[in-house]
Amino acid sequence: MDIGKWLEETRAIIEQWIREDDIARQAAPGTVEEVMRYSLLAGGKRLRPQLVMASTVYLGLPQDTFRDVALAVEYIHTYSLIHDDLPAMDNDDLRRGQPTAHKMFPEAMAILSGDALLTEAFVKMSQMQNAKAEDVLNAITYLSVAVGRQGLIKGQVMDLAAEHHDVELAELQTIHRNKTGALFQAALVIPALLTGNHARQKALSVYGEHFGLAFQIVDDILNVVGKRELLGKNVGTDSERGKATYPRLVGIEQARRLADDHRIRAKIAIGSEPGAEILRNLIDFAVDRQW
C-alpha cells in the first residue's frame, strides 16, 4: 500500500473531526476554547489518532469505528505538548512551525487549555456508544494509567530529573517507554479493549512498546541532524538542555541501529495477518521519517 497516501488521507479526516467538534465550534475570542483550537489545529502528524485507526483495521473493523478514541488521544497529546513547552518545563517558543500556546496567549490560558484538553479526552471516552459499558470502563482505566503518574507523567518527571546527568540505557528506555511510548501503546491497545479481542491486544501492546521506542530514538536523532523547516520546531535543543538522549548516550549510528531493531521487533509482534499491513508500514514511517 502507499503509506504516504494513507497518512495524508487519514490526517485530513482527523483534521475534519477536530474542526467539527464542540471545541472548535465554540472557540470565541478570549475563551479557553480559542487556545485549545489554536493548539489542536496548529498541524502535526496526527500519528496517535492514526494508530487508533490502524489498530482498528488490524482488528477487522472500519478505520473510523473509534472516532472518539482518536480524538481523545490527540487531545491528550496536544495537552502534553502545551505543558511541555511552558517556561517551567522545556521553555519552547516554537511548535509545529507556529508560536507555542504560551507565546501566542497568556501563559495562564495556555495552562488551562492543556488542563481542559486532558479533561475533554475523558469526556470523549465516557460518551462512546459503540462498545459495551464494561469495555469502555476498561479502556478509560487503561488510558488513565497510561497518561498518569505511572505513565506519561512518570516519564516526564524522569526526563526532567535526568537533565545534565549521565544515565544508563535501561533508564533512558524507561523514560521513553513512559513519556512517549505510553500514549502510543494506549492508542493501539484501546481499540482491542473495546472489542474484547484479547489475543490481538497483546500483539498490539508489544508492537506499541517497540513503536514508541523507535519513534523516540528517531526523534532524538532528528533533534541533532534534522531541519527546523521540516520538523516545525527548533533543533539542537536537547543538547542545550542537557537532555538524556540516545545520540548522547550511544552515538547517532548506534541509535539508528537500535531504532531498526525496534522496527523488526514491532513487525514480528503483529505478524503478517490480514489488516497488519498499515501497522507494518507505519513503523517503517516512524523509523525512516525526516520530520
Rounded CA-CA distance 226/236 in Å is: 9
pLDDT value, residue 232: 66
pLDDT value, residue 13: 97
Rounded CA-CA distance 154/147 in Å is: 9
pLDDT value, residue 268: 98
Rounded CA-CA distance 222/178 in Å is: 20
Q: Which domain holds residue 169?
A: 3-288
Q: Torsions phi, psi of 128, nearest 5?
A: -65, 135
Residue 211 sits in a domain whose CATH number is 1.10.600.10
Chunked mean pLDDT (size 10), the chain, 291 residues: 94 96 92 95 93 98 97 97 92 88 96 98 94 96 97 95 92 95 98 95 97 96 82 77 92 96 98 93 94 76
Work out how many domains the chain is built from and give that number: 1
How does pLDDT run across 154-184, given as a tens digit for each residue? Answer: 999 999 999 999 899 999 999 999 999 999 9
How does pLDDT run across 202-256, given as a tens digit for each residue? Answer: 999 999 999 999 999 999 999 998 777 666 667 788 888 899 999 999 999 999 9
This prediction's pTM:
0.94
- Cα–Cα distances in angstroms (integers) from residue 222 to residues 61, 229, 289, in the given order: 35, 12, 9
pLDDT value, residue 233: 63
pLDDT value, residue 4: 94
pLDDT value, residue 236: 83
**Close Cβ partners of 60 (under 8 Å, ≥ 6 residues apart):** 274, 275
